[in-house]
Amino acid sequence: MDPAIHPQSTRDKILDVAEARFSQRGFAGVGLQELASAAGLGKSSLFHHFSGKVQLYLAVLDRVLERIELHVAPALASDAEPRAALDRVVDTLIDSLVEHPTAPRLLLRALFEDDEFPDEQAPEVQAVDRRLHSLVSAFHAVVERGVARGVFRKVSAPDTIQTLIGATIYHFASGDFGRELFGEPLLAASAVARRKREVKLLLRHGLRTPGPGPNETPERNPT
């Protein structure tokens, strides 16, 4: 149990190889035999750690969401000025996606593939849904707060969430296409820095209240 002696359990090793494979080819595209041999196990041994393929997939997803949550939560929880909070969300979210490059694809699949899991009410499904909902509603609150304080235009919060997801999760999920579009890997340091800058600037300018006021520090405008 000591992580210094057992740096990773068999279960964690399975999760690691499953995360890599599922990220690349999706749930249906990966077989348990492939996973088992990649983890150095026999096919049947997987069933001693996970009750089935679906549960393994959900465990992978849950771990990915947990890591994102850990990175982004501070930026979302802070009651900082909305524009600064939004910048921090973009930075921390992109940091977490870059640190674990399997995450964007797994998340993207989870978001757009309508889960067709046999038991919709299974505890594993609900755990994943709960984490996702937590992140989304926290970001929703940041946008609404910005609108209420008058530092953002009267944008639709759900639409803004979708745009942010597209600008971050989709972006870093687009593998060959993205690499060809930019002429360099999406994970290259320069490409990551540019992406952060571009997204933050687009949101900065795109969300701010137009008006004749100065484009900086129109803070605290109660009523």
Least distance (Å) between residue 43 CB and DNA: 5
Q: CB under 5 to 8 A by kind: which of DNA, its own copies, none does 52 bind? A: DNA
Q: By rule CB under 7 A, what count of residues binds DNA?
A: 20
* Burial of residue 48 (number of CB atoms within 10 Å: 0-12, 13-18, 19+): exposed
Tokens at 7, concatenated: 């740096």
DSSP 129-193: HHHHHHHHHHHHHHHHHHHHTTSB-S--HHHHHHHHHIIIIIHHH--HHHHHHHSS-TTSHHHHH
Task: Candidates 174, 185, 187, 218: give the one binding its own copies (CB under 8 A).
Answer: 174
Binding mask 82-111 for its own copies (x = CB under 8 A): -----------------------x--x--x
Phi-psi region of 150 (alpha: psi -120 to 50; beta: other; left: phi over 0): left
Sites of contact with its own copies (CB under 8 A) = 24-29, 105, 108, 111-116, 132, 136, 153, 155-156, 158-163, 165-167, 170-171, 173-178, 181-182, 194-195, 198-199, 201-208, 210, 215
Sites of contact with DNA (CB under 7 A) = 10, 30-34, 36, 40-45, 47-49, 51-54
